[in-house]
Amino acid sequence: MPKSIIIDPETVFRRDTIHFSDIPVNAYGKMPQEEIETYTSEDLLSLWRDMCAIRKFESILNEIKLKGTCEGVTYNHAGPAHLSIGQEAAAVGMAFQLTPDDHIFGSHRSHGEILAKGFSAIRHISDERLLEIMKSYRDGALLRPVEKNYQGSVRSLALRFFIYGAYSEIFARETGFNRGLGGSMHAFFAPFGIYPNNAIVGGSGSIAPGAALYKRVNRKPGIVVANIGDASFGCGPVWEGITFSAMDQYRTLWDKALGGGLPIIFNCMNNFYGMGGQPLGETMGVQFIARIGAGVNQEQMHAERVNGYDPLPVIDAFRRKKQLLAEGRGPVLLDTVTYRISGHSPSDASSYRSKEEIELWQQADPIAAFRTKLTANNVATEDELSSEKADVEALISDMFRLAVDLEASPRVGPDSDLVSSVMFSNRHVELFDDRPPEFLQDLKDNPRVQQIRGKIRTPKHDGKAVPKMKAYNIRDAIFEAMLYRFSADPTMIAFGEENRDWGGAFAVYRGFTEALPYHRLFNAPISEAGIVGAAVGYALEGGRVVAELMYADFMGRAGDEIFNQLSKWQSMSAGQLVMPVVLRISVGAKYGAQHSQDWTALANHIPGLKVVFPVTPYDAKGMMNAALGGTDPVVFFESQKIYDYGEMFVEKGVPEGYYEIDLAQPSIKRKGKDVTIITFGPALYTAITAADELSTLGLAAEIIDLRTANPLDHDLLIESVRKTGKVLLVSDAVERGGVMQTVAANLTQFCFDALDAPPVVVGSRNWITPAAELEGLFFPQPAWLLDAIHERILPLKGYKPRTNQTLEELARRTRLGV
Ligand SMILES: Cc1ncc(C[n+]2csc(CCOP(=O)(O)OP(=O)(O)O)c2C)c(N)n1
Ligand SMILES: [Mg+2]
C-alpha cells in the first residue's frame, strides 16, 4: 500500500531548537578488578595471545617485505602489505564479542581484523563444525598441508588452518582462502564471518549496509561491522552507506517483527592518518569521527569514542552496542582510537610524522600495557605470559614457513584457466531460501496483473497493428519477469529511488506497491553508491536483489560500486561467493546532456559484468528471467524511448509462462541477404526504418539485435556477415569507444576474407546530448545509416546522401575530437 506521511506546515514552521546530546569520549571507567569479574582468566589470556599473534604475523610480513629474508627464509613478496602494528587491541576488542553469525567487512589494512575475528570464531565454533568447515572448504585444499603429521587438538588445527590460509592468500598461493585471487588487501573467509575487505578505501561503507539489510529482511541472526579507517570517512560512499542504514522506514514503515533499524556498526579504526594526510587538523574538520553520528539521526547513531589501545573498553562498547542493535536501534557509529606504529606500507618513510610522536605511542604500546594489566591484577605471571606468547609466535612462524614454501603451497600454474573459470558463476538458482515468499495480497487481485491480462501480446490482432494502450509492452515484460522471481524466491528484493509509491520512475513497478511488503520493495535515499553497494552486500550474504539506477548518466555516482565491487567479488573470492544482482539502468532521451546518455560502453569495459540491453517485450522478459535465475551480476539497460513498445517481431507473441533467453545470444530481427545491420539498444527501430528504405532501393538488409554486449556469442553475426559481406553497426551510444567498435573490430578479424568493405560503425555524435528539439542532430537517424552504407560500404544506385558520412568527415571529426 502507498504510505501516508503527512507533512504539516504548522508543525514544520513552529519555532524550535534542534537538540543534541553529549557524545561520550573515553567513557569507559571500569576498574581492573571489575573486569576480572567479567572475564575468565582464559578470556583475558586469549586476548593476550591474539594480540601477540597479530603482532608476530604483521612483523614477519614487515621483515620479509623490507629485507627479503625472515625466519631463515629468503623470499620476495611482490604484493602489498598494509600492516596494523599498533592496532591489535582495537582488532581483538572488536572481534571478542562477535560470533560467526556476526559479519565483518573491512579495508586494505585488515590483517589484524581478519585474524582477530578468525581466532574469536574458532573459540565460538564446536569441534565438529570446525572440522566440517576445514574439510569442506575447497575440498580440504587448505587443510591438507596443515594436518600432515599433526596430532594436536581440533582447535589448534583450526588455528593452523586459518593462519596458513591467511598467509597463503597474501602470498597468492592456491592454498589461500581465495586461491590467491584476493591477496593481502582483499583476504576474507566467510565461514568465520569474515567478509570482503576492500582496497578501495571506504568501500565497505556502502556494502556492509546491504549485508545488514539481508539479515533484517531474511531474519538471520547476527550483526554486521564495517571497519573503516578514519581518513575514509571523507569518502562519499561511506556517507551514503550511513544514510542508507539510518533510514527511518526500517522502524516506521516496515513490519515490526523484522526487528527495526539495521544491525550495523560503522567502526572507525581511527589511527589519525590516511597515508600521510591527517584528518585531525588537516584534511577534515570533524575532529572526532564520533561527531558524524550527530548529523545522521536523532539518536546520533549512539556514537561514542573509545580507547582502542586497550581491548577492554572496545569489548565493553561492542557489548553495549550489540544490545542496542538487538533492540532494533541501529545503526551505530564507533570511533575506536588506535595508532598505526607501522608505516602505511613497509616502504613508508614516515615523512609526515615525527619520531617523537611514534615513540610516544610505542611507549603506550597496547600489548605491553595489557601485559602489565594482567600481571598487576594477578591474572597471569610474567612467565605464563611469555610462554603463551612464545607458543603462539611459534605457530605463526611455522605457518609462515609453510605458506611461503612454493612446493607445499604452490601458485596456480601458468596454464591454469582458474581466473577465467571464476569470472562468472553461471549457475541457476531458483530460490536462495525455502521459506514462503511474502506478499500483501493474492496476486490475482493485483491491479497490474489484471491489467496485463487484458493486453495483447502479439504483433498483430485481428490482422491489425495493436494500439499502444492495448499492447503488452516492455514495462509489462520486466514487471512480469520480476513478479515471477518475487514469487519463487523469498530473498528477492528490489530497491532504488522512487521504486515504491511512485511505481518506479518509469512505471515499471506499478502494482508492486500493492503486492509487496516494504522490506521487499522500498525507496532508497538518493544515494546511487549506497544503492548499488547495498545490493552487493545483500548478494554477498546470499540473497537475490534488483537495484535500479534511474538514468545511465548516474552510473558515475555509483562508479566504484559498479566497476570495482559488483563486478569483482565473485572472482576475487575464487568462486566462493556469488553475485545475484540485476542492476536495472534506464537510458534516457529528451532530457539533454546529463539525462540522455547510453553508457553501455562503460559497463562493457569492466570485466566481471554481464551487460544486456533488450529492446523488445519478448527479449526483455526472457532476458530478465535469465538474469533473475542466474547468479551473476547483470547490468540490465532499458531505453526510455521504447518502454511502451509492443512486440513487433515474435509472431506467436510474448508467452505468459516462464522462458529464458540465453544472455550470450544476439537475435535476428529481420532476414536479408545483401547487408547486415547490427544494432544495440533502441537503434534497432532506427535500423528497421532504414532497412525499409533500403528495400525500395532493392537491397534486403539482415537486421541483428545484439541484445547483449557481454558475454557475446559471435557465431550468428559471423554467419550473417559471411553471407552478406557487408556490415553496419548502429547504436545510440556516442560513436567513440562504444560496444559497437569492439564488435566491429572482432568481426574484422573473424570475417576479414569475406568482407567487401570494413565494418562501419554509426553512433551518436561525440558530443553532449543536446536538447530534445535538437536530438535529431545527435542520435543516429535512418538517413545516416543509408548514407554510411552508400559512402563506405556499397554505393547505392541513384542515391543522394543527406548527411556527410564520408571517411573524410570521419577523419575531420576525430582530428577535432568531436
Ligand atoms: C578510494 C581510494 N582512494 C585512495 C586510496 C589510496 N589509499 C590507500 S590507503 C589510504 C589511506 C586510508 O586511510 P584510512 O582510511 O584512515 O585507513 P588506514 O590506512 O589509516 O588504515 C589511501 C589514501 C585507495 N586505496 N582508495
Ligand atoms: Mg587512518
Q: Tell me which amino acid residue 521 is.
A: L
> Looking up cell 552478406, which residue turns up?
724
Residue with cell 582477530: 116
Confidence of residue 346 (pLDDT cuts 50, 70, 90): confident
Name every residue whose Cβ is closer than 8 Å to that of residue 216 and which is 6 or more positions away in sequence: 250, 254, 258, 259, 262, 263, 519
Tell me the average pLDDT across 623-634: 98
Q: Report the atom number in ligand 1 closest to the C-alpha of 82.
A: 19
SS3 (DSSP) at 32: helix
Residue found under cell 522490506: 519
Say if residues 181 and 506 touch (Cβ distance below 8 Å).
no
Closest atom of ligand 1 to 232 CA is 15
What phi, psi does 379 have (nearest 5°)?
-80, -40
pLDDT of 33: 78
Percent above pLDDT 90 for the chain: 96
For residue 228, the ligand 1 atom closest to its alpha carbon is: 15
pLDDT for position 112: 98
Taking the C-alpha atoms of residue 346 and residue 70, their distance in angstroms, rounded to an integer, is: 14
Closest ligand to 201 CA? 1
8 A C-beta contact, residue 491 and residue 635: no
Give the Cα separation of 271 and 278 in Å (integer).
10
Check residue 685 and give its pLDDT. Answer: 98
Residue 730 to residue 684: CA distance in whole angstroms: 8
* Closest by Cα among 93, 617, 542, 89 to 315: 93
Instruction: Give the C-alpha separation, 687 to 689, whole Å.
Output: 5
Could you give the CA distance from residue 204 to residue 666 in angstroms, rounded to a whole number?
37
Find all residues with CB under 8 Å of 348, minimum gap 6, and list them.
Answer: 275, 342
Q: What pLDDT score was predicted for residue 530?
A: 98
Give per-residue pLDDT as tens, 761-814.
Answer: 999 999 999 999 999 999 999 999 999 999 999 999 999 999 999 999 999 999
Q: Tally Cβ neighbours within 10 Å of residue 464.
A: 7
811, with CB counted inside 10 A (0-12, 13-18, 19+), is: exposed
Which SS3 state, helix, strand or coil, does residue 23 take?
A: coil
Calculate the average pLDDT of the chain: 97
Rounded to whole angstroms, the Cα distance separating 57 from 398 reads: 11
All cell numbers assigned to 96? 571478542
Specify burial of residue 406 (Cβ count, 10 A radius: 0-12, 13-18, 19+): exposed
Q: Is the CB of 91 under 6 A from ligand 1?
A: no
- Residue 201 Cβ < 6 Å to ligand 1: yes
Rounded distance, CA 573 to CA 181, Å? Answer: 7
Pairwise CA distance, residues 281 & 93, whole Å? 27
- The model's pLDDT over 115-142, given as tens digits with 9 standing for 90+, comes to 999 999 999 999 999 999 999 999 999 9
| Nearest-CA residue for atom 18 of ligand 1 | 229
Using DSSP's 3-state secondary structure scheme, residue 214 falls into: helix
Between the CA of 82 and the centroid of ligand 1 the distance, in Å, is 10
Cα separation, 228 vs 226, whole angstroms: 6
Please work out whether the CB of residue 200 comes within 6 Å of at least one atom of ligand 1.
yes
Measured in Å, residue 766 CA sits from the centre of ligand 2 at: 42
> How many angstroms does the Cα of residue 231 sit away from the middle of ligand 2?
5
pLDDT digits (tens, 9 = 90+) for 381-430: 999 999 999 999 999 999 999 999 999 999 998 888 999 999 999 999 99
C-alpha cell at 495: 530497491
- 231 Cβ closer than 6 Å to some ligand 1 atom: yes
**List 77, 103, 302, 595, catalytic entry:** 595
Residue located nearest, by CA, to atom 13 of ligand 1: 274
pLDDT digits (tens, 9 = 90+) for 480-529: 999 999 999 999 999 999 999 999 989 999 999 999 999 999 999 999 99
Q: Which atom of ligand 1 is nearest to the CA of 108?
A: 9
Band of pLDDT at residue 1, cut at 50, 70 and 90: low
* Beta carbon of 199 within 6 Å of any ligand 1 atom: yes
Interacting residues of 572 by C-beta distance below 8 A, sequence separation 6+: 178, 181, 182, 186, 196
pLDDT at residue 340 in the model: 97
Helix axes 203-217, 528-540, angle to 10 degrees: 60
Residues 198 and 243 sit within 8 Å (Cβ to Cβ): no
Closest CA to 395 of 647, 53, 671: 53
Cell matching residue 583? 542492476
For residue 193, is pLDDT > 90? yes
Q: What is the pLDDT of residues 4-57, one digit of tens each?
A: 899 999 999 999 999 999 999 999 999 877 887 899 999 999 999 999 999 999
DSSP 564-581: IIITTHHHHTTTSS---E
The reply to whether ligand 1 has any atom less than 6 angstroms from the CB of 106 is no
Cα 495 to ligand 1 centre (Å): 30
The residues, any chain, with a CB within 8 Å of residue 641's CB and separated by 6 or more, are 589, 682
Residue 671, H or E segment: none
Report the separation in Å between the CA atom of 57 and the middle of ligand 1, taken as the mean of its atom positions. Answer: 21
Q: How does pLDDT run across 677-725, given as a tens digit for each residue?
A: 999 999 999 999 999 999 999 999 999 999 999 999 999 999 999 999 9
Nearest CA to ligand 1 atom 11: 274
pLDDT of res. 168: 98
Report CA(196)–ligand 2 centroid distance (Å).
19
Is 275 touching ligand 1 by the criterion CB < 6 Å? Answer: yes
Three-class DSSP category at 781:
coil
**Strand runs (DSSP E) across 213-272, as ranges?**
224-229, 264-270
| Amino acid code (one letter) for 375 | T
The 10s digit of each residue's pLDDT in 555-592 is: 999 999 999 999 999 999 999 999 999 999 999 999 99
595 is catalytic: yes
The pair phi, psi for residue 708, each rounded to 5°, is -135, 140
